[in-house]
Amino acid sequence: MRQLAEYEKAGYLSRRFNRCPYCDNNDLEFGAIVANGRTASNDVTCRTCEAKWVDQWTRTGISEEIEATCDDCGWVGGRSEVTWPPKDLADRLDPGGVVPAGDCPDCGAFTYLAVAR
Binding site for Zn ion (CB under 5 A): 20, 22-23, 25, 46, 48-49, 51, 70, 72-73, 75, 104, 106-107, 109
Cα distance between residue 53 and residue 115, in whole Å: 24
Q: 41 and 57 in contact (C-beta within 8 Å)?
A: yes
We find the least distance from the C-beta atom of residue 30 to Zn ion, in angstroms, to be 13
Question: Residue 89 or residue 107: which is nearer to Zn ion going by CB?
Answer: 107
We find the least distance from the C-beta atom of residue 86 to Zn ion, in angstroms, to be 12
The closest alpha carbon to 76, from 66, 64, 62, 90, belongs to 66
Alpha-helical segments (H) within the chain: 6-14, 89-92
Question: Residue 46 or residue 68: which is nearer to Zn ion going by CB?
Answer: 46
Question: Residue 1 or residue 62: which is nearer to Zn ion going by CB?
Answer: 1
Question: Residue 40 or residue 73: which is nearer to Zn ion going by CB?
Answer: 73
Sequence-separated (6 or more) residues with CB below 8 Å from residue 61:
none
We find the least distance from the C-beta atom of residue 50 to Zn ion, in angstroms, to be 7
DSSP string, 73-96: T--EEEGGGSBSSPTTHHHHPPTT
We find the least distance from the C-beta atom of residue 83 to Zn ion, in angstroms, to be 11
